[in-house]
Structure 1
Amino acid sequence: MAPKIAVLGCGYWGSNHIRTLKKLGALHAVSDSNSARAEGFATEQECLAIAPAELSRRDDIDAVVLALPPQHHAQCAIELVEAGKDVLVEKPIALTVADAERAVGAAERCGRIFMVGHVLRFHPAFEKLKSLIDSGELGEVRYIHSHRLGLGKFHTENDALWDLAPHDLSMILAITGTAPLEVRGEGAAILDNLSDFAHLHMRFPGGVRGHLFTSRLNPYRERRLTVVGTKAMAVFDDVEPWERKLAVYRHAVWQDSGQWAFTANEPSYVEVVQGMPLTRELEHFLDCVTTRDAPRTTGEEAITVLRILTAGTVLHD
C-alpha cells in the first residue's frame, strides 16, 4: 500500500504535486491557509482537506509535501518531522542557511526522511548525462555552465538567482560531487530592488570551473546545461524535443607546431527514455518513505545550494 501523503500549499507548484500524487494513488489530503482553495482541490481530487495546524496531529498521514513560500518551509518542516512525518520540501528549503540547518538537523534527530524538490535531478536526460559522465564517456570534467532564461515569474521575495538557480546548482553539485571552493556573483535589478539577471562563477576542487546565468527578463526561453570534458562535450537542452534533449559533441582539440587546432564534429544525440521528472521525483519520495533509504536530493545538498546562493547574492539599493 502506498504511503498516505498530504500536500501543504495549493499554489501553482503545489497543485502539480497534488495531481501527480493522485495519479500515483498516494494523495490523502491537501492543506492551505486559504481553506476555500484547499476545499476546492479536495473536491476535485476526492481527498481530505485539512487545516495546516492539524497536519502534525493526524495519525492517518505518513508524509507531507511542502510547497509554500520559502520563508515558511523551515518552521513547518521542523513541526512535521518532530511529529513523526517525513517531508519533501520544495526549493529553496529556506531563505537562510541557519534555518535550513535547523530543519535538516531536526529531521536527522527524529529519524525522518527529508527530501528536497530539486526536480531536474530526476529528469531522464540529466540521469543519462550523469551516467555518461560517471562511465568516463566525456573524460575528465573541466567546465560546467548552465543557462536558465525566460520571461516572467516575478516573485516579491525571490530574485532571479534564488528562484531559478537551485535546480541548476543541484545538477552541478551532482556532477562535481563537491561544494565549490569559491563563489562570485553578479546581478542586475531592472524592475525593482531584486535581481532580474544573475551570474554565478564557481571554482571547484581539482580545477573544475562552473558558471550559471539566470534571467527572468529574457525575450526567449533557454534551459541548457553544458558539460565540457577532456574527451567530449555534452549538452542537456530541455527546450529541445525528446530526441534532441541530450547531445554529445566529440570535437578534437590539439596543438600543432605550438598552435592550437581543432576539428568540429556534428553532435550525436543520445536516446533518452521519456518520463515526467515530477512523477519520477514523487515515486522516489514514496519509495524512500517506504524503504527508509536516503533520498537522492538530501537536505545536506540543499544546504550547500543555499550557501552558494548566499555567497553569490548581490544586494541592490
Structure 2
Amino acid sequence: MKPRIAVLGCGYWGSNHIRTLKSLGALYAVSDANLARAEGFASEQECLAIAPDELVTRTEVDAIVMALPPQFHAEYAIKAVESGKDVLVEKPIALTVADAERAVSVAEANKRIFMVGHVLRFHPAFERLKELIDSGELGEVKYIHSHRLGLGKFHTENDALWDLAPHDLSMILAITGTEPLEIRGEGAALLDHLSDFAHLHMRFPNGLRSHLFTSRLNPYRERRLTVVGTRAMAVFDDVEPWERKLAVYRHAVWQDSGQWAFTQNEPSYVPVDEGMPLTRELQHFLQCIETREAPRTGGEEAVRVLKILTAGTVTHD
C-alpha cells in the first residue's frame, strides 16, 4: 500500500504536486487556507479536503507536501514532523537560516523524512551531466555558471534571487560537493524594494569559481547551466528539446611558442531519457518514505542553499 500523501497549499506549484501525486496513486488529501479552493481540487481529484490546522493531526496521513508562501514553511513543517509526518517542503524552506535549521533539527529528532523540492536535481539531463562529471569525462571542473532568466513571476516576499536561484544552487552544490568560501551578491530593484535582477559570485575551496544570474524582468527565457572542465565543457539547456538538452563541447586550448591557441569544435549531444522532474522527485519521496533512506535533497542541503542566499542578498531601500 502506497503512503497516503496530503498536499498543503493549492496554488500554482501545489496544483502540480496534486496532479502528479494523483497520477502516482498516492494522493490522499488536499489543504489550503482557502477552503473553497481546496474543495475544488478535492472534487476534481476525488480526494479529501482538510483544513490546514487539522491536517497535521490526522493519523491516517503519512506525509505532507508543502507548497506554501515560504514564510509559513518552517512553522508547518515543525508541526507536521512533531505529529509523526514525513514532509517534502518546497523551496525556499524558510526565510531565515535559523528557522530552516530549527525545522531540520526537529525532523531529525523525530526521525522523520525531511525532503526539499529542489526539483532540477531529478531532471534526467542533470543526472546525466552529473554522471559525466563524476566519470571524469569533463576533466577537473574549474568553473560553473548558470542563467535563469524570464518575465515574472512576482512575489511580495521573494526577490529574483530567492525565487529563482535555489534550484541552480542545489545543482552547483551537488557538482562541487562542498560549500563556497566566498559569496558576493549584486542586485537591482526596478519595480519596488525587491531585486528583479541578481548576480551571485562564489569561490570554492579547490579554486573552482561559479557565478549565477537570475532575472524576472528579462525579455526572453533562459534556463542554462554550463560546466567548464579541463577536458571538455558541458551545457544543460532546459529550453532546448530533449535531444539537445545536454551538449558537450570538446574545445582545445594550449600554448604554442608562448602564445595561446585553441580549436573550436561543434557540440556533441548526449542522449537523455525523457522524464518529468516533478514525477521523479515525488517517486523518490515515496521511496524514501517506504525505505527510510535519506533523500537526495535533504534538509542539510536546503540549509546550505539558504546560507548562500542570505549571504548574497542585497537590500534596497
Shorter-chain TM-score: which interval? over 0.9
Alpha-carbon offset, residue 178 of structure 1: 0.6
Q: Which runs of 5+ in 2 are unaligned?
A: none
* Alignment-derived partner of residue 244 in structure 2: 244
* Equivalent residues, number: 317
* CA distance in structure 2 between the partners assigned to 1:116 and 1:273 by the alignment: 24
State whether structure 2 residue 166 is matched by structure 1 residue 166: yes
Question: Whole-Å Cα distance in 2 between the matches of residues 206 and 259 of structure 1?
Answer: 27
RMSD: 0.4
Say whether residues 1:37 and 2:37 are aligned partners: yes
Report the equivalent of 2:80. 80
Q: What are the superposed Cα offsets for residues 40-68 of structure 1, whole Å, 9 maximum, x if unpaired?
A: 00000000000111112111100000000
TM-score, structure 1 normalization: 1.00
Q: What amino acid is aligned across from residue 224 of structure 2 in structure 1?
A: R
Query: Within 2, Cα distance between the matches of 1:223 and 1:231?
Result: 24
Partner SS, residue 206 of structure 2: helix
Pair 1:281 & 2:281 matched: yes
User: What does the per-residue CA deviation read over 1:195-236, in whole Å, with 9 as the maximum and x for residues that have no partner?
Assistant: 000000000011000000000000000000000000000000
Once the 2 structures are TM-superposed, how far is the Cα of residue 7 of structure 1 from its aligned partner?
A: 0.2
Question: 2:77, 2:152 → 1: CA distance?
Answer: 29
Query: Greater shift after overlay, 53-62 or 92-101?
Result: 53-62
Mapped to 1, the partners of 2:48 and 2:199 lie a distance apart of 43
Shift of 1:306: 0.5
Name the structure 2 match of 1:176.
176
Q: Distance in 1 between matches of 2:57 and 2:88?
A: 18
Identity %: 84
Question: What do residues 3-23 of structure 1 show as CA deviations (whole Å, max 9, x unaligned)?
Answer: 000000000000000000000
**Runs of 4 or more off by more than 3 Å in structure 1?**
none
> What is the deviation of 1:181?
0.5
TM-score, normalising length: structure 2: 1.00
Residue of structure 2 in register with 1:189 after alignment: 189
Deviations 1:105-156 (A, max 9, x none): 0000000000000000000000000000000000000000000000010111
* Counterpart in the other structure of 1:113: 113
User: What amino acid sits opposite 2:278 in the alignment?
Assistant: L
- In the other structure, the counterpart of 1:71 is 71
